Amino acid sequence: MSSQKDHRGSDSSRIVISVDAMGGDRGPAAVIAGIYESARINPELDFILHGPADELEKLVARRRGLDQRCQIRDAQGIVSMEDKPSQVMRHGKGTSMWSTLESVRAGEATVAVSCGNTGALMALSMIRLRKLPGVNRPAIAILWPSRNPQGFNVMLDVGADIRADAEDLLQYALMGSAYARNGLALTKPRVGLLNVGTEEHKGRAELKEAHDLIAAQEDAGNYKFVGFVEGGDIPGKRCDVIVTDGFTGNVALKTGEGTASLIGDLLREAFAYSPLSRIASLLALTSLRRLQKRIDPRRVNGGIFLGLNGTVVKSHGSADATGVSAAVKLAFELARSGFGDRLAARVASAAEASQDGGSQKDVKKS
């Protein structure tokens, strides 16, 4: 592919995703396999791949037709999982991660995707893409399997910053509801604030303050605030967006992933216990596969960095081809919906409304 100056190129129907090919634990082969899966399903999708050109060219050449859909940007440096964010901020230029974000910054691609070091990716994203005006702390949002009709709930923050004051939690509510509208097609998402109980007198002082702020912005933010929610509501159907600080959200996320893995292991052990149970597993094979698909974290792989001048999707570091494909699918859907521009309009409107003490009705579509 020839170099493009606009992320849609000369063909407005094309969507370009910038991909860090070197960030994952499984190496670039898994990343290339994942984008190939996505390329076959979405013919209007193109890629800019970042990493050592010689290595990537060989991997791309093994996938029929993929070279026609990819640009390769040579980047010899690699950000490891052990690298400290402060080190990467000082010495990260020339790495595949830095190059990936530069393509979004330059407008060549709409969304960046990386399986790399989360802390380093967030640090580089903040210095290369910058925060949206009005955003104090960006957040990482994830899709959590739920009992709701859409099948998932949005939860944020899950680890961008362990701190969050009342104003930050309000920003998370606004950004999370914008994501739910564009990512889950919900007209008016229900927002809940995670707490140790649903009673209004419970929780820390900043949570009580955030409760009032989020409630006051309900109309301007075009969401329905359901008040405090508990841990059991994260996969439930009481709300669509769960707002919390990064420390609590990350603990909840890792606990949920560990529990899903445990359930899968226990089911396999149970059905392998005796000849009769193995026969039962064959009879229940269709249902078991459906359950596995619902709880498989690879199929909802991808945390979204919200609050930046550009959209960044963070894939699991251990993602295989299925996981990478899921992250690219999410990036593609957000790019196609114009999510980045809509989120920027939503945050700007909220900031103006909070300054003026009023609200703007013309951005309720975002």
Q: What average pLDDT does this structure show over 136-144?
A: 89
Contact 197, 231 (CB under 8 A): no
Q: What average pLDDT does this structure show over 85-98?
A: 89
Per-residue pLDDT at 12 = 61
Contact 278, 271 (CB under 8 A): yes
- Which tokens is 7 given? 């992320």
28-41 vs 321-337: helix axis angle to the nearest 10?
50
Q: What average pLDDT does this structure show over 320-344?
A: 86
- Which tokens is 154 given? 């949005």
Q: What is the pTM of this model?
A: 0.79
- Say how far residue 17 (Cα) sits from the centre of its chain: 14
Helix, strand, coil % in the chain, rounded to nearest 5: 50, 15, 35
pLDDT category, 25, cuts 50, 70, 90? confident
Contact 47, 69 (CB under 8 A): yes
Per-residue pLDDT at 210 = 94
Closest CA to 323 of 66, 25, 82: 25
Q: What average pLDDT does this structure show over 42-70?
A: 92
pLDDT surpasses 60 at 296: no
Q: How many percent of the chain have pLDDT more than 70?
A: 86
Higher per-residue pLDDT: 67 or 272: 67
pLDDT surpasses 70 at 300: no
DSSP 236: S
Per-residue pLDDT at 10 = 45
**At 241, is the secondary structure helix, strand, or coil?**
strand
pLDDT surpasses 60 at 360: no
- Mean pLDDT score across all residues of the chain: 84
Q: What average pLDDT does this structure show over 242-250?
A: 93
Residue 222 — left, alpha, or beta (φ > 0 → left; ψ -120 to 50 → alpha)?
A: left
d(CA 363, CA 177): 13
Express each pLDDT in 158-188 by its tens digit.
988 888 999 999 999 999 998 898 878 899 9
H or E, element range at 136: none
pLDDT category, 283, cuts 50, 70, 90? low
Q: What average pLDDT does this structure show over 237-266?
A: 87
- Say how far residue 226 (Cα) sits from the centre of its chain: 24
Q: What average pLDDT does this structure show over 327-350?
A: 82
H or E, element range at 21: none
Closest CA to 108 of 39, 9, 1: 9
Q: 50 has which bridge partners?
A: 20, 73
